[in-house]
Structure 1
């Protein structure tokens, strides 16, 4: 298949390699550009652990002056890819929820006592779930530090527009509700809505698939689990 990858390029490179190994052709159409915030104030702590829901947080903290102090803490990661990024960033004690934000909250509740010091959530500026609200009923406190921003694409690149108009692509991979919303907006901006709707849409979660109804997409497949391995299993 000829596929579009909508992840930020750094993350998409790994996915592209896996898809090419399976015989697929890949083009990059990143819907988000990640910008680290290297001078953000982390605070004084103390914290019981670090929480990450994206590998972007791990890559951002790796460049921060307070990295060494935080890397000694346990890190709770939403899934395997985020956990791997945390380990590459120098965190040795990493616990992966292997799921979504709800699974992460459950794992944290299993490991952290209600009277523990707050958890430090290294987050992006746009978050799909309110992790503080999910942990608060158990008495757990969360301190949120926005350590990266995700800037939305305003339009498709020329080669992507041309490819959509000419029918060069067969499918597209969607990883979050926000990036799917941006994909839909770009399709409208470029007047290629019908072509975009006609693709096969492979989605990490049901939530990521929801904006596709706005353009009348009908070929939508949702991964059985919210991880990339399950997503790639959808693609024949």
Structure 2
């Protein structure tokens, strides 16, 4: 029995390795495909800091950040995964929030309140084409100016791989991991198109946040478990809880 990872590449490989280290069999079906979008720094704008909510934003912008003046600015990142990507690109002052974009907003507002950031200096938000929340607008309501630059997009996969469909039919998958609302929606649509929706949604759906879990619940999945906090270790704990319940229910 395998756990299905729907996370986009290349992060799915890291997740698969972590799960195998915990003794799980793993199958991967990335439901979103990463595409970089051309990004160019506006040299006339004197930014006070950079904010990032996804490591993908940094991966996409990396070719343009080689010797950029932006690397000298403080960077506010959501989570250690994104922070590590920032350091790899070359940012030396990385401030990390634990939690989601809401926690990052509070961290940035706290820095502005303590005058670590000047409210008169705009912030550069490196972001994806599809945003789960209007972080720039939320900061703007508090008096900060945020310039959003799109550096990547995630394109939904139209189909599930044939081997994944066969695994659902053969009852070889015991749970599905979901990392974003968009990938969860793409998974449901692909499973529906392949005719395996009933089999797929009958399994435990383990989600990295309540917002992701809501997508699965809204379409009728009844065995949805959400992580206690929006990080992968908490998601793995949610997976283990879900599978323990499944074992008990089958006794």
Q: TM-score range by the shorter chain?
A: over 0.9
Contact preservation (8 Å) 2:39, 2:61: no
Question: C-alpha separation between the residues in 2 aligned to 1:125 and 1:35?
Answer: 10
Distance 2:123 2:105 in 1: 12
1:161 Cα deviation after fit = 1.0
Q: What RMSD over aligned residues (CA atoms) do the two structures have, in Å?
A: 1.4
- Which stretch of structure 1 is more off in the superposition, 108-117 or 12-21? 108-117
2:247 corresponds to: none
Q: Distance in 2 between matches of 1:230 and 1:67?
A: 36
1:78: how far off?
Answer: 1.2
Q: Which structure 1 residue ranges, 5 or more long, are not aligned?
A: none
Residues 42 and 68 (structure 1), Cα distance of their counterparts in 2 relative to 1, 3 Å cut: closer
Q: 2:154 aligns with which of 150, 157, 162?
A: 150
Q: Is the 8 A contact 1:120 1:145 kept in 2?
A: yes
The equivalent residue for 2:243 is none
Task: Identify the match of residue 211 of structure 1 among 193, 203, 215.
Answer: 215
CA contact under 8 A between 1:197 and 1:215: conserved in structure 2? Answer: no
- Structure 1 runs, 4 residues or longer, greater than 3 Å off: none
Q: Normalising to structure 2: TM-score of the pair?
A: 0.89
Change in 2 beyond 3 A, CA 1:184/1:143:
same
SS in 2 for 1:77: strand
- Aligned pairs for 1:88-127 (under 5 A) are 88-112=88-112, 113=117, 115-127=119-131
* Corresponding residue to 1:162 among 150, 163, 166: 166
Are the counterparts in 2 of residues 194 and 215 from structure 1 also a CA contact under 8 Å? no
Larger radius of gyration: 2
**C-alpha separation in 1, matches of 2:33 and 2:27:** 16
Correspondence for 2:83: 83
TM-score, length basis structure 1: 0.95
